Amino acid sequence: MNSFQLSSVDYMNVSDEALSHGNTRLFNWLAYFGVVPFVIGIAMVLAGFSVAGVDGRLWFTAYSSVILSFLCGVWWGGALNRADHVHRLPLMILSNVIALVGWVALLLYQSPLALPMLAAAYLFVERAEARLKPNVSFLSGYFSTRSRVTYLVIACHLVMIAILWR
CA dihedral 50, 60, 140, 93 (to 10 degrees): -140
DSSP-derived 3-state class of residue 134: coil
Over 90: is that where the pLDDT of 98 sits?
Answer: yes
Q: Report d(CA 80, CA 25) in Å as an integer.
A: 26
Q: Report d(CA 40, CA 60) in Å as an integer.
A: 8
Q: Report d(CA 58, CA 41) in Å as an integer.
A: 8
Q: Are 131 and 119 in contact (CB under 8 A)?
A: no
Residues 72-97 have pLDDT tens digits of 888 787 777 777 877 788 888 889 99
Q: Please return the burial class of 4, using the count of CB atoms within 10 Å of its CB with bins 0-12, 13-18 and 19+.
A: exposed
> How many CB atoms are closer than 10 A to CB 13?
9
DSSP-derived 3-state class of residue 108: coil
> Rounded to whole angstroms, what are the CA distances from 133 to 59, 66, 82, 83, 127?
31, 23, 14, 17, 10
Average pLDDT over residues 127-139: 70
Q: State how beta strands 50-51 and 54-55 pair.
A: antiparallel
pTM of this prediction?
A: 0.81
Q: Are 99 and 68 in contact (CB under 8 A)?
A: yes
Over 50: is that where the pLDDT of 101 sits?
Answer: yes
Residues 44-55 have pLDDT tens digits of 999 999 999 999
